[in-house]
Chain A
C-alpha cells in the first residue's frame, strides 16, 4: 500500500527566505506526483504536476523535483512571501489512477 509522508508537519520562515518542502513515498511505481496548496477553510489548488518521466517542473517561484527511484520529491519556494502561507500537500498517482495524499506541511511566512 502506498504511503506518502511529508516532513516537517509545520514550518515557519521569515519573509524572503528560500525554502524546501519534502515529500516521500514508499512505492516508486507511480504515474506522476502533484503538489497542491490548501488555504484555511478552502479546497485544494493544484500547483505543479510532474510526470514520472520528468525530473522537475517550474512555475514562477516554485520548482518541484522528482526522484522516482528513491521515492522523493521536493518543492522549492524562492523568495518566500506572506501570501505563500498555506498548507502544501503532495499526492502520487498510482494504479487505477488513484491519488494518495500526504498529510501536508503547514507553512507560515512571517514579516
Chain B
C-alpha cells in the first residue's frame, strides 16, 4: 500500500498565483486533514473532512479552500497565494476520529510563495 501520498513535493509560486495540492490515501479512511508546519510553531490544522463530500474549517483556514469529491482524495486550494502561505503542507488521514485512531501522514509539500 502507498499509504498517504501528496502531489507535488515542491512548488514555487509568485504572489497572486493559484494552485491545488492533491492528497490521496489508499487505506479507505473516512477522515482526512490538511496541516501546515512553520518553523518554531507546531503543526496547525487548516481544514479537515469527516467523509466524502464533507469539509470543515480548522485552526487557520483563511486563504485556503478544500474539496473531498472522492473518499480517497482531499484537495487543498490556494486561490491567490501570499508570501505568508510559504510553509510545508502535510496531509493526514485516519480511520476514525483524530486522536482516537492513529493519523497517517503524507511526506509533505514544500511551498514557497515569492
Binding site for B on A (CB under 8 A): 4, 31-32, 34, 41-46, 49, 89, 91, 93, 97-104
User: Shortest beta-carbon distance, A29 to chain B, in Å?
Assistant: 13
> Which of B4, B98, B106, B107 has a CB less than 8 Å from the CB of A98?
B98
CA A98 to CA B97, docked complex, whole Å: 9
Question: Majority SS of interface residues in chain A?
Answer: strand
Question: Majority SS of interface residues in chain B?
Answer: loop
9 extra interface residue pairs, beta carbon distance < 8 Å, beyond A31-B99, A42-B107: A4-B42, A41-B108, A44-B92, A44-B103, A98-B58, A99-B43, A101-B43, A102-B42, A104-B42
Q: A-facing mask of B38-57, CB < 8 A → 1, else 0?
A: 00111111000000000000
Binding site for A on B (CB under 8 A): 4, 40-45, 58-59, 90, 92, 97-100, 102-108
User: With A43-B4, A43-B105, A44-B105 in contact, is A103–B99 under 8 Å at CB?
Assistant: no
CA A91 to CA B43, docked complex, whole Å: 9
